[in-house]
A and B are shown apart, each in its own frame.
Chain A
Amino acid sequence: MLKCTSLILAMGLALSAAGAAHADAAAAASKTGVKDSGCLLEKNMPGKLIAFDRSKGNCLACHAMPSQPDAVAAGTIGPALINMKLRYPDKAVLREHIYDEMRFNPSTAMPPFGLNKILTPHEIDEVTDFIYGL
């Protein structure tokens, strides 16, 4: 299982219509040298850091987090993440959204963080815990 994939840049891991043919290239790339400077941090990076980090979750690019005073300069693309426990009593469902929002809305702008291995399963758990508390 390939780990620390979030920093593989520009390897054409495209899952788009045209990108289907790239799947092999991506598999090949994962066998060869992979830039993974994120790996050192991965084990102990708490959910909040992963969510804020531009090369990891970068959730603030699209979502405000009104309960977090340090969540500044947030984008306006996605809904504000707040009262999550109320809106997603089942944490597993919340995780599904973060894993692959396209399941819920095929035309969403939100990257499928799990499906496209932008974050590792462990990182997604950490982020889910953090978001669940917002």
Chain B
Amino acid sequence: MNKVLLALLGAASLLGALPAHAAPAQDLSQMRAYFQHKYPNVKLKNYVYGVYAFDADAMSQYKNIMEFPPFDNVVDKGKKMWDTPFPNGKTYASCFPNGGKDVVGNYPYYDPKLKQVVDFEMALNQCRVKNGQKPYKLGDMKTLGVLDSYARTLSDGMLMNVKVDSPGARAAYQKGKDFFFRREGQMNFACATCHYLYAGQRLRSQTLSPFIGQATHWPVFRGGDKLFTLQKRFVGCQKKVRAAPYKIGSAQYADLEYFLSYMSNGLPLKADVFRQ
């Protein structure tokens, strides 16, 4: 058999656990059932804690750190950015319903006019452009990342509420899902290898987090001070398995984020958390 065919077989059997074209709601309930069956003692609401849900010691360290987060000063800087009016006198708050309160759970969404998935960081940039400012680079943690770290706190506690409600949205969701289950790179891993099949187990000394809940708590501060948006995390994981990473803000990553966020539907958001 040739290599490509073998690899295809591999991908197909990974997908086997999920019907390739199931409705999103069906995927969601199947995925939850899978994890509930595998880890009956881990409560669904604790999936937002990622690996800490699987390790009581690590969880208590996490909670200690979160009492006085070492990155509060960054979030304060983000608040200044958020509150500072554009030259035309308007603010970021003017671009969102409710002044930006309880909105992030509706992102990403599929925009039929733009024919693409728009995530919250892109929406912040759209707001800048609408008010005569240059957009930030989507991968720039020092500008967009910092702004994001405050803007998202306004939706803390909101439940993830991503909708897949048009043919275009369905197609984007499907692309994101295919990405998640596709093996890539020299090491031949899919996201699903680590965050689905072997989630909850250890790769060397690192526990692997389940993909349910992974989209709820961004940005994270790795090591307490390095700000990562969700898509920057995608880059890290792809590099780790020697796959060629896509660009932050690319259609591929937006679709992946769309799928991943849908899989966190119903779980509470909490911006700015510590991660190792």
A20-B4, A106-B10, A118-B186 known; A9+B205 contact, CB < 8 A? no
Check: B266 CB closer than 8 A to any chain A CB: no
Residues of B within 8 A of A61 (CB): 203-204
B114 is an interface residue with CB less than 8 A from chain A: no
Contact of A109 among B4, B7, B197, B243 (CB under 8 A): B197
CB distance from A88 to the nearest CB of B (A): 22
B22 at the binding interface (Cβ < 8 Å): no
For window 112-128 of chain A, which residues contact chain B by CB distance below 8 Å?
112, 115-118
User: By the criterion CB–CB under 8 Å, are B7 and A13 in contact?
Assistant: no
Closest to A25 in B: B244
Q: Which of B11-19, B41-49, B224-232 contacts A (4 or more CB under 8 A)?
A: B11-19
Closest chain-B Cβ to A25's Cβ sits at a distance in Å of 9
Chain A, interface SS category: loop
CB-based contact B243/A12 at 8 Å:
yes
Closest to A60 in B: B204
Residues of A within 8 A of B205 (CB): 73, 75
Q: Is A92 an interface residue (CB 8 A)?
A: no
Among B4, B189, B243: residue with most chain A CB under 10 A: B243
Which of A9, A103, A117 contacts B6, CB < 8 Å?
A103
A interface residue count range (under 10 / 10 to 19 / 20 to 34 / 35 or more): 35 or more
Of the residues B7, B198, B245, contact of A15 by C-beta under 8 Å? B7
Digit string of A55-92 for contact with B (CB within 8 Å is 1, else 0)?
A: 00010111000000000011111000000000000000
Q: Which of B25-33, B58-66, B148-156, B177-185 contacts A (4 or more CB under 8 A)?
A: B177-185
Q: In the complex the two chains form, is A15's CB within 8 Å of B3's CB? A: yes
B116 at the interface (CB under 8 A from A): no
Measured in the bound complex, the distance between the Cα atoms of B235 and A47 in whole Å is: 32
Of B7, B16, B203, B204, the residue contacting A16 (CB under 8 A) is B7
- A61-B204, A106-B13, A116-B187 known; A16 and B197 CB under 8 Å? no
A116 in contact with B203 given A107-B13, A109-B193, A109-B197 (CB within 8 Å):
no
* B186 engages A13 (CB within 8 Å): yes
The bracket for how many chain B residues form the interface is 35 or more
Closest chain B residue to A109, Cβ basis: B193
> Shortest Cβ distance from A24 into chain B, in angstroms?
13
A49 within 8 A of B: no
Report the separation of the CA atoms of residues A13 and B188 in the bound assembly, to the nearest whole angstrom. 9
Whether, in the assembled complex, B9 has its beta carbon less than 8 Å from a beta carbon of chain A, the answer is: yes
- A33 CA / B232 CA spacing, docked (Å): 27
Query: Known contacts being A17-B7, A107-B14, is A77 close to B198, with CB within 8 Å?
Result: yes
Chain A residues within 8 Å of B11, by CB: 16-17
A11 at the interface (CB under 8 A from B): yes
> Is A111 close to B, CB under 8 A?
yes
Residue picked from A61, A76, A100, most chain B C-beta under 10 Å: A76
- Any chain A CB within 8 A of the CB of B125? no
Q: Does B204 lie within 8 Å of A111, measured CB to CB?
A: no
Interface mask (A1-27 → B, CB under 8 Å = 1, otherwise 0): 000000011111111111110100000
List B residues at the A interface (Cβ < 8 Å).
3-4, 6-14, 16, 182-190, 193-194, 197-198, 201-206, 238-239, 242-245
